[in-house]
Chains A and B, each alone.
Chain A
Amino acid sequence: MSEPVVWLTIFVLSVFIGVEVISKVSSTLHTPLMSGANAIHGIILLGAVLVTGHADNTLQLVVGLVAVVLATINMVGGFVVTDRMLQMFGRRKPARAATRDGGAA
């Protein structure tokens, strides 16, 4: 196989996986899922670091550094905020147990 075809193969298979893994998501989780997926494309940080590390002049360096900052905000902020949302979903159980105990007493 020539190289572009290898890449195309990875691309097509990834499309199917991307759809398949979230196909059963309930509407309850749409917001965190969107936010989490959003954080994943913050991986462009890797690309931003690569091109910035190979910058030859000041203009390229500045543009590259802006890209690094933006990509980091996307990635770090995205994962943190998704975790904050999901943390609230997780808190339900202890809260419920506490209410029940209170009711019994």
Chain B
Amino acid sequence: MIPLWAQLVYLACAVCFILALKGLSGPRTARGGNLIGAVGAVVACVTVFFYADLDHLVPILVAIVVGSVVGVVGAQRVQMTQMPQLVALFNGVGGGAAALVALLELGAFAEVDGVGVGDFALVATAFTVVVGSLAFSGSVVTFAKLQELMTSRPVLFPGLPMAFAGGLLAAVVLSVLTVTGPTVWVGVVLLVLGLTLGVLLVLPVGGADVPIVISLLNAGTGLAVAASGYVLGNTVLLVGGTLVGASGTFLTLLMAKAMGRSVGHVLFGALKGGSTLGAGEASNRPVKSAGPEDVAILLGYASKVIIVPGYGLAVAQAQHTLRELVDLLSSRGTAVDYAIHPVAGRMPGHMNVLLAEAQVPYEQLKEMDDINGEFKQTDVVLVVGANDVVNPAAKTSPGAPIYGMPILNADEAQQVVFMKRSMRPGFAGIENELLFDPRTTLLFGDAKDTLGKLLAAVKAL
């Protein structure tokens, strides 16, 4: 089958993947880790051309060139704010590829009527078709939610849980039945079932929880790839897929923990009575608002300021203006830090990427656990385009969808300034009591525009 030299190359590639994941989990080694992973993947894919007696070489190479161009252009063009969508999309196409590969394998098994194919290999193939297509359609729905092509609120309809359970049962039964005689048609039915299950799985998930689902689908694609590695008798697929499946599952749990949620709650919480459903409407309660000049005085004469950046900052592309403001305040002798909530932005670590893009020095970025004790001694907290991550409801109201999520203790500071476009609630769709607190001032307007005015006003002090 596979010659010894190629098997050894595959072993080396599998080691590359392990080193890649290891590297990616440390800030200094991350970029190198990613490169090692890329080298491993490219070497593994080139190797196959040297030993496997392949037909259709020209169309295959053309397809690879087309895919590379699409991938590189997509990766270069995407704005950093849209990163979660792109990761979801890349994951989805990977899942789709795994499903199609398994479908073709099933077809090949059907031609020989399953003779000489192990039962386990048949079930593994069926599993790959279902999980791969599920990851594909699920990722497409997550993409649509994040890109706001559809509502980011949970979508529910009567009978959804029954439909999901029924589809899942049918998929399991059909997968096991492939043992009795594989046919392409069963494969196609499994493909359709997988696509349907993916949609049904992601529809009820609320916008704020979508990143957890992306991570979960990522792990699912990994397992599908691992299964096809077993079916094709290829170790590098098995090891690579399993590594992603295992680390992806673990990462999903870490993220869920950072957001104070359980994975079960994320997936099925909405089904149990709409707990992730939010109001989504602007409130009419009175608030204290002020102009940029007033806020400039607050900031200009504070000795300690903490900035809480959120997704709204990134949407307005105001990171650079914010950094200028922080530099100005620092030069006036004010101590300024950024408090980064683990899930600031749309995905854990997303805000760090966005601020890094604006060249904010690393040491000004403080993680939640390091900075939460400092809010009590802080004169002004400036919340820019964030909401849920400073919502005290997470600590005080057990009924709130974000209850239990660790938050930044902005409510402990002397003064809080919220920069907001409107009174609309945050991504989780719930009202924030801190907005109505007497120590809170609101500064309405587009983040970039308002920060520009604020910057000018501080300069004029």
Contacts and interface: CB of A to CB of B under 8 A. Distances in A.
Nearest to B344: A27
B91 A80 contact: no
A104 interface: no
Interface string B71-114: 11011101010011011001101101110110111011000000
Interface string B341-359: 0110101111011001101
Given A47-B237, A91-B359, 13 more contacts: A4-B118, A18-B243, A25-B25, A29-B30, A33-B24, A35-B83, A43-B41, A43-B241, A48-B101, A69-B70, A70-B96, A73-B93, A95-B361
A76 B251 contact: no
Given A43-B241, A46-B45, A86 B361 contact: no
Contacts of B443: none
B21 A31 contact: no
Contacts of A50: 48, 52, 54, 232, 234
A75 B239 contact: no
A96 B199 CA distance: 46
26 contacts: A7-B238, A22-B22, A22-B251, A23-B25, A27-B258, A28-B352, A32-B24, A34-B248, A35-B90, A36-B37, A37-B243, A41-B91, A44-B94, A49-B48, A49-B64, A51-B105, A68-B97, A70-B100, A71-B97, A71-B98, A72-B68, A79-B37, A79-B41, A81-B78, A90-B31, A92-B359
Interface size class of B (residues with CB under 8 A): 35 or more
Interface in A1-19: 4, 7, 10-11, 14-19
Given A28-B352, A40-B20, A74-B71, A81 B83 contact: yes
Contacts of B249: 19
B74 A77 contact: yes
Interface string A51-73: 11111000011011111111111
Top 4 A-B pairs, shortest CB-CB distance:
A72-B67, A77-B71, A53-B54, A18-B246
A38 B68 contact: no
Contact of A80 (B48, B76, B234, B247): B76
B200 interface: no
Contacts of B215: 34
Interface in B9-28: 17-18, 20-22, 24-27
Contacts of A65: 59-60, 63
B255 interface: yes
A41 B241 contact: yes
B150 interface: no
A25 B254 contact: yes
Interface string B224-252: 11101110101111111111111111110
Contact of A42 (B41, B232, B234, B362): B41
Given A34-B218, A35-B87, A49-B60, A29 B70 contact: no
B101 A47 contact: yes
Contact of B94 (A32, A38, A85): A38
Contacts of A30: 251, 254-255, 258, 342, 347-349
Interface in B431-459: none
Interface of B: 17-18, 20-22, 24-27, 30-31, 33-35, 37-38, 41, 44-45, 48-49, 52-57, 59-60, 63-64, 66-68, 70-72, 74-76, 78, 80, 83-84, 86-87, 90-91, 93-94, 96-98, 100-101, 103-105, 107-108, 118, 120, 214-215, 218, 221-222, 224-226, 228-230, 232, 234-251, 254-255, 258, 327, 340, 342-343, 345, 347-350, 352-353, 356-357, 359, 361-362, 365, 367
B98 A44 contact: yes
A73 B24 contact: no
Given A14-B239, A77-B72, A89-B31, A53 B55 contact: yes
A65 B104 CA distance: 11
A37 B244 contact: yes
B34 A34 contact: no
A63 B218 contact: no
A10 to B, nearest CB: 6
A5 to B, nearest CB: 11
A32 B353 contact: yes
Contact of A10 (B90, B93, B239): B239
A17 B76 CA distance: 32
B63 A69 contact: yes
Contacts of A82: 24, 34
